[in-house]
Structure 1
Amino acid sequence: MKRKAVILCSFIFTLMLSAQDIIPLWPEDNMPNSKGLSLEHIEERERITQISKPNMLAFFPPKEEQNGSSVLILPSGGYHHLTYNLGGIQLAKWFNTRGITAFVLLYRLPTSPDLIISENGPIQDTQRAIKLIRYNAEKWRLDKNKVGLFGASAGGHLASTIATHNEDLSKINDDVDSLSFIHDFMILVSPVISFGAYTHKGSLENLLGDHATSENIHKYSNEFHVTENTPPTILFHAQNDPAVNPMNSLLFYEQMIKHQIKGSLHIFPEGKHNIGIYNESSLTDEWKTICTKWLKEIAIIK
């Protein structure tokens, strides 16, 4: 018990040093898809394995540099844990250098014992977070039409799920409900997309568990659900990725072409499953420059 308390204090201290605001997603006692259990926060080595209360961490660039665009970062971790620092906080700080306001979402994992329908938890939290960004747009000096999603690995699966599934699971009958959760652009890095031949087995098992019916596997194989309403998307992947086959990105991009979705695909020869803030290959590290230029090209930033 003492060790868990130390971990929790360490986590809160890290957030206090990093985020400018910690924003709860749901009103007290009004969180959908919950059994009402009181959960503790569980974390080890900057990996959260159980969320007590979902929230998002806000990172604002200096007012003089803020350009009105924003991005919601969905940390990776195979739907088993959240790599909130390297795969969240550090990325948020990088987006700030581009004048982009960034939010790191600490979403409920489908392995949570509190969830009634396990796979709905991450989706509901993401939908709610996008709505909250738009709800507070004026206060935070944001453009409601320049809200994006960033997702890597399983976070990329969650982002592409939001982009391809239109059912609103986040309504709780409050003022935020009326806003749209459909984002305006999407950045996917080494994303899990398909639960078919090229799936990341751990993400599939953690998301669906005993709900992994053929119907659900097809439902959450997101390449099958791209439509003309899917937001503009840029994808980055490494050819030598040992964890998530690059065919995931290729399948999604193929459907983007078929549905005339504006976007871009970049497959690097090196990088493995480690494309991010720090990269072993100088070529792979160019994903950040390419991403910045693409955001300028689609008029998200100037």
Structure 2
Amino acid sequence: MKNRQLLLMLVLVNGIFAQDTIMPLWPKNKIPNHVKSTEKEIHEQNGILRISKVQEPTIDVYLPSKQNATGEAVIIFPGGGYGILAYDWEGTDIAKFLNSKGIAGIVVKYRLPSDVSQTNKKYVPLIDAQRAIRLVRNKADKFNIKSDKIGIIGFSAGGHLASTLGTHFNEKVYELVDTVDNESARPDFMALGYPVISFGPDTHSGSKKNLIGENVSLELDDYFSNEKQVTAQTPPTFLVHATDDTVVPVENSLLFYKALKEKGVSATMHIYPKGGHGFGLGLHDEHLKNWGDRMVDWIISLR
């Protein structure tokens, strides 16, 4: 009996240290562009944890031990075509990998565009992304991180959201809610995994349709075609993609890299011949499995 109790205590302690805290992004009843509705959040576990119809966005904070902490943090935006969040595959698994390198990993459960529970849905993911980095920066001391070493990473449609944040961080897309919103929303660095970048010919049509709809104006297309929004203030960027990606063509990363180069922004790109789409950490592929280490090497190079 005592052994079983000890085992239970160890499991609970390990759980506490593996996942430090889940925090709401917004104060209660102050979520911008939110409309009360009968829509309910859905969690489905079928190999990958898929979350949809997010109503109350959060950050899920994973911290390394203080002895191993580098002071850097990466805010993580899982992908899913702006229809679901591949929450463990492109979220918590990434956070745990970063923890193994001494880097804080913070997963954002951001709202997905909804005609039922939101107004002006096309800006809602960006609203949550801006708030997430401001909240993390505001809690830097609590999380044992440096406020000027906070980066972001996004995968697929989450890569579109990350690149939207990286190019639209100065834009006012919601009214100030509290003192957290006085913090800067600019990432210090940005990593993009097989990202949707453009809403032009090479886009992922599902992501575009879910975010802004069909038959929209050229102006709106351009606004969310982030290769057209790069400036000299866009943060240093790491890109990873596979040439044989038939879901989000590799041209998305190539377009963004070209735009960064033209604006004099430091950029690193790793293009693999094979890997398809949605490879996550790529641990089962002999060639892809080290891309995460290459990213960490790049983060170290920025110090």
Give me the TM-score of the superposition, normalised by structure 2.
Answer: 0.90
Post-superposition Cα deviations, 1:225-280, rounded to whole Å, max 9, x if no partner, equal 10000000000000001100000000000011101101101110011113322344
Residue 191 of structure 1 corresponds to 195
Indicate conservation of the 8 Å contact 1:38/1:52, yes or no. Answer: no
Q: CA RMSD in A?
A: 1.7
Residue 30 of structure 1 corresponds to 30
1:58 to 58, 61, 69: 61
Task: Report the Cα distance in structure 2 between the residues aligned to 1:197 and 1:236, rounded to whole angstroms.
Answer: 20
Structure 1 letter corresponding to 2:85 = L
Larger displacement relative to structure 2 (69-78 or 39-48): 39-48
Q: Could you tell me how far 1:36 is from its partner in structure 2?
A: 3.1
Structure 2 letter corresponding to 1:156 = G
Map 1:225-244; keep pairs closer than 5 Å: 225-244=229-248
Indicate conservation of the 8 Å contact 1:185/1:232, yes or no. Answer: yes
Task: Report the Cα distance in structure 2 between the residues aligned to 1:205 and 1:18, rounded to whole angstroms.
Answer: 36
Task: Report the Cα distance in structure 1 between the residues aligned to 2:86 and 2:297, rounded to whole angstroms.
Answer: 27
Residue 77 of structure 1 corresponds to 80
Structure 2 letter corresponding to 1:161 = T
Q: Which runs of 5+ in 2 are unaligned?
A: 1-14
Task: Report the Cα distance in structure 2 between the residues aligned to 1:124 and 1:33, rounded to whole angstroms.
Answer: 9
Provide runs of 4+ in structure 1 moved above 4 Å: 15-18
Structure 1 letter corresponding to 2:43 = E
SS at match of 1:72: strand
Indicate conservation of the 8 Å contact 2:30/2:177, yes or no. Answer: no
Residue 294 of structure 2 corresponds to 290
Q: Which runs of 5+ in 1 are unaligned?
A: 1-14
Q: Number of paired residues?
A: 285
Task: Report the Cα distance in structure 2 between the residues aligned to 1:29 and 1:168, rounded to whole angstroms.
Answer: 20
Structure 2 letter corresponding to 1:92 = A
Task: Report the Cα distance in structure 2 between the residues aligned to 1:278 and 1:252, rounded to whole angstroms.
Answer: 22
Structure 1 letter corresponding to 2:216 = A
Task: Report the Cα distance in structure 2 between the residues aligned to 1:16 and 1:33, rounded to whole angstroms.
Answer: 33
Residue 142 of structure 1 corresponds to 145
Indicate conservation of the 8 Å contact 2:282/2:288, yes or no. Answer: no
Residue 8 of structure 1 corresponds to none
Residue 6 of structure 1 corresponds to none
SS at match of 2:135: helix
Task: Report the Cα distance in structure 2 between the residues aligned to 1:131 and 1:52, rounded to whole angstroms.
Answer: 20
1:119 to 119, 122, 126: 122
> Within the alignment, does 1:278 sit opposite 2:282 as a pair?
yes
Q: Could you tell me how far 1:213 is from its partner in structure 2?
A: 2.3
Residue 112 of structure 2 corresponds to 109
Task: Report the Cα distance in structure 2 between the residues aligned to 1:220 and 1:33, rounded to whole angstroms.
Answer: 19
Task: Report the Cα distance in structure 1 between the residues aligned to 2:215 and 2:63, rounded to whole angstroms.
Answer: 39
Indicate conservation of the 8 Å contact 2:243/2:271, yes or no. Answer: yes
CA 1:16–1:201 in structure 2 vs 1: closer, same or farther (change >3 Å)?
A: farther
Residue 19 of structure 2 corresponds to 19
Indicate conservation of the 8 Å contact 2:156/2:278, yes or no. Answer: no
Q: Could you tell me how far 1:16 is from its partner in structure 2?
A: 8.1
Q: Could you tell me how far 1:161 is from its partner in structure 2?
A: 0.4
Task: Report the Cα distance in structure 1 between the residues aligned to 2:74 and 2:175, rounded to whole angstroms.
Answer: 22
Residue 160 of structure 1 corresponds to 163
